[in-house]
Amino acid sequence: MSLNFAFGAATDVGQLRPVNQDSFLATDGLAIVADGMGGHRGGEVASAIAVTSLRAAFAESTLESLTEGVAHANAEIRAQAVNDPSLHGMGTTLCAIAIIDHDDNGVAGEKLAIVNVGDSRGYLLHDGTLTQVTEDHSLVEALVREGRLTPAEAETHPQRNIVTRALGVADTVEIDQFLIDPMPAARFLLCSDGLFGEIDNDEIAMLLVQNPDPTIAAQLLVDAANRGGGRDNITAVIVDVSQELDGSQPGSLRAMRDAATDEVPVVQATAQLGAEPNWATGPEVEPDAAHADDEAGGRGADRRRWWPFTS
Ligand code: MG
């Protein structure tokens, strides 16, 4: 059995921002969304470096190659920021899905891997149900997990754009990894926060269910977010995973379908490489100096901030 991607993608600057700082890649076997941050041209440069660096570094179809590729992208962003003062302080989110080789008790096969840093998202649509695979690395998400904010409060919280992890911030980066078993008719969505900030999960699910063509579905998602306000750059990459049966595994697709349960077979392989900030006693969140110029930007300014990691 081998897995293949069919994909569609759309991106738009939105209604308020002067430039589109999102970048994406959609290929068979690897798809990426990156949402850049930083004044001047830093954000768009950071997201573009992230995508190109990960694509170049993902040389082997393994989880290690994927995570090492993200670490490599982080290093590239930092190196270029050092070399060009106008790019100082740039950063980006990154969410990627890839087909990887996986050894299951001596049986070689393929799985899907999603890696995530920041508040872009990976979703899975299966059997008509939309599930958010990734966890946002954002201040409000941390507060929701602690029970200090409700999800509804988080959606309108004035600090909802503060991310707690990003590429480009520190020499090491903590990468969330999710391994997902192949399943029939799985559709994945990678998107920047400009999408889910404007339309809710029900509308995302409806558009994904109603539009089998991934390119059309991606464009309709972006259009809906623009109608919802388009306050940020909007990017949607849709990946439809298909399975080709080979002669050695007759009936495996049927076996998989029979074995399917209502539970989403998502496994978070590893996550903790560093300590989360202590929100209860952490410092007040202030815009860092590198992005002070954004504050005066008003309309269209990037109001996102990241927690000032200094490790
Ligand atoms: Mg964004």
Which residues is 59 bridged to in the sheet?
none
Question: What's the pLDDT tens digit per position in 161-200?
Answer: 889 999 999 999 999 999 999 999 999 999 999 999 999 9
pTM value surpassing 0.95: no
Neighbours of ion ligand 1 (CB under 5 A): 35, 192-194, 232
More confident residue, 63 or 279: 63
Mean pLDDT calculated for residue range 32-36: 97
Contact criterion met (CB below 8 Å) for 235 and 47: no
Determine the distance separating the centroid of ligand 1 and the alpha carbon of 106, expressed in angstroms: 42
For the ranges 83-87, 146-150, 151-155, 206-210, the lowest mean pLDDT is seen at 151-155
pLDDT at 246: 59
Average pLDDT over the chain, rounded to an integer: 82
Residue type, 215: T
Mean pLDDT calculated for residue range 65-72: 98
Question: What's the pLDDT tens digit per position in 209-232?
Answer: 999 999 999 999 999 999 999 999
Q: What H or E segment, with its residue span, contains residue 242?
A: strand 234-244
Furthest CA-CA distance within the chain: 63
Determine the distance separating the centroid of ligand 1 and the alpha carbon of 251, expressed in angstroms: 43
pLDDT at 304: 53
Percentage of the chain exceeding pLDDT 70: 78
Determine the distance separating the centroid of ligand 1 and the alpha carbon of 105, expressed in angstroms: 40
Determine the distance separating the centroid of ligand 1 and the alpha carbon of 232, expressed in angstroms: 5
pLDDT at 114: 98
Contact criterion met (CB below 8 Å) for 207 and 219: no
Determine the distance separating the centroid of ligand 1 and the alpha carbon of 93, expressed in angstroms: 9
Determine the distance separating the centroid of ligand 1 and the alpha carbon of 35, expressed in angstroms: 5
Contact criterion met (CB below 8 Å) for 242 and 6: yes
Q: What is the DSSP letter of 283?
A: P
